[in-house]
Amino acid sequence: MIIFPAIDIKNNKCVRLIKGDFNKMTSYDNSPFDQAKMFFKSGFKNIHIVDLDGALHGKSTNSNIVKEILKNFNLKIQIGGGIRTINDVDNWVKNGADKVILGTAAVENTDLLKTACKKFKNKIAVSLDARDGFISLSGWKKQTNISTFEFVKKIENFGISRIIYTDINKDGIKKGPNIKDTVELSSKVKIPFVISGGISSIEDIKKIRSLNNSNIEGVIVGRAIYDGDIKINELAKYI
């Protein structure tokens, strides 16, 4: 199972949100670059990075920071936030991103998603952020009536490399992830799933690792690291 420490970037800083609410945002002292360096030195090979400014405004605004991380560390980075066009995807692939995450663009333009998967094989991840079973878009600001399950079935055969599933109601509150719904959803398709949102302790990591479900590829850990609930050196034992 892959463990993805998370770096969310807003205004050039590492931040975490609570339930996707930008009014409930915590900024941290470490720069995104220094945070990536810390993860790298601790032995992590995969990092999940989101440009929150990009997600909000529809175009990447922190790309230079991410490109510096890509250039300086031998890491597999999955990058999302503000990626809306084939040219955006192409740019990130050329800069060395392991996976390029489409969220809002994937839902609003399935033709773009299909084209991206065809052109960039095994490079496209889809981020599905759900609130009560329905997809939210644009940095979680826009709530849709699109069923997460129905959308997953619709894109099942596009050639997506992984789905990152976030339960917004769990995100940032450190009360444990929504394992039940993630596992249930992942069992409906053959696309690998990554659990995101609500990881609170090493016990959550152990619980996910013990799942008898080959479709759960990994887990994203964010706020619990930054607030010190999970120590990086302890988490590194489960890489």
What pLDDT, in 10s, does the model give residues 16-40?
A: 777 666 777 788 889 999 999 999 9
pLDDT at 173 over 70: no
Tell me the mean pLDDT in the region 44-73: 91
Q: What is the pTM of this model?
A: 0.92
62 neighbors 12 (Cβ within 8 angstroms): yes
**What is the average pLDDT value for the chain, to the nearest integer?**
91
Tell me the mean pLDDT in the region 171-180: 75
Long-range contacts formed by 199-205: CB under 8 A, 24+ apart: 199/174, 199/223, 199/224, 199/230, 200/174, 200/175, 200/176, 200/224, 200/229, 201/229, 201/230, 202/230, 202/234, 202/235, 202/238, 204/176, 204/177, 205/3, 205/230, 205/235, 205/238
Residue bearing the bigger pLDDT, 170 or 122 = 122
% of the chain residues with pLDDT over 70: 94
160, 185, 165: which is closest to 177 by C-alpha? 165
pLDDT at residue 20, rounded to an integer: 63
198 neighbors 168 (Cβ within 8 angstroms): no
pLDDT at 214 over 80: no
Gap between the Cα atoms of 163 and 103, Å rounded: 10
Phi and psi angles of residue 127, each rounded to the nearest 5 degrees, phi first:
-100, 120
CA atoms within 13 A on the CB side of 92: 33
Judged on CB neighbours under 10 Å (0-12, 13-18, 19+), 35 is: buried
Active-site choice (8, 51, 88, 167): 8
Q: 8 catalytic, yes or no? A: yes
Active-site choice (51, 129, 167, 171): 129
Question: Which CATH architecture is the domain 2-238 placed in?
Answer: Alpha-Beta Barrel (3.20)
Tell me the mean pLDDT in the region 134-154: 86
The partner residues of 9 in beta bridges, in order of sequence, read 14, 51
pLDDT at 124 over 90: yes
pLDDT (tens digit per residue) in 85-110: 999 999 999 999 999 999 889 999 99
